[in-house]
């Protein structure tokens, strides 16, 4: 069982993603914006982070960059889960340190595959 941090400012997205992660047998931690996500990553050191992009305070790109460049959290894989579906967004996400990119509405099998691959790496 992995500990997976879900960072999303939408309560309905948090619930939906939490259900999926719990169905896979993993423990869920949540944060409601990028700044809280960075804080939770540093405090809880989850095994994986599912990160939205469009959020207040600190967007998902900024939060991913902060997490991936901090020696304390740089080992934690981040999967961006977002409505932003342009190729430039995907490239920018990878440059910030994201290991995978899944667009919303989430295709369950795509997200499950990304989680499995990221946890196995």
Contact between 32 and 8 under an 8 Å Cβ cutoff? The reply is: yes
Question: Which residues, 6+ apart, have CB-to-CB distance to 52 below 8 Å?
Answer: 7, 8, 9, 10, 13, 60, 80, 81, 82
Residue 121: what pLDDT? 85
**Which residue range is the domain that position 34 belongs to?**
3-120
pTM listed for this prediction: 0.98
Q: Which of 94, 97, 33 is nearest to 68 (CA)?
A: 97
Mean predicted lDDT score pLDDT of the chain: 97
- CATH code, 55: 3.40.50.2300
Give CA–CA dist 20/29, Å, rounded.
13
Q: Beta partners for 101?
A: 80
pLDDT in tens, 27-71: 999 999 999 999 999 999 999 999 999 999 999 999 999 999 999
Residue 96: what pLDDT? 98
Residue 84: what pLDDT? 96
Quote the percentage of the chain above a pLDDT of 90.
98
How many domains, in total, are found in the chain?
Answer: 1
10 pLDDT band (50/70/90 cuts)?
very high
121 against 60, higher pLDDT: 60
């Amino acid at each position: 069982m992995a500990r997976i941090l879900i960072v999303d400012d939408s309560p309905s997205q948090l619930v939906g993603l939490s259900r999926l992660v719990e169905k896979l047998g993993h423990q869920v931690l949540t944060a409601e914006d990028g700044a809280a996500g960075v804080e939770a990553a540093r405090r809880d050191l989850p095994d994986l982070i599912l990160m939205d992009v469009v959020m207040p305070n600190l967007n998902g790109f900024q939060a991913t960059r902060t997490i991936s460049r901090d020696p304390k959290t740089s080992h934690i894989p981040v999967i961006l889960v977002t409505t932003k579906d342009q190729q430039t967004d995907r490239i920018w996400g990878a440059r910030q340190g994201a290991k995978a990119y899944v667009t919303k509405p989430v295709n369950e099998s795509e997200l499950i595959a990304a989680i499995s691959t990221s946890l196995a790496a």
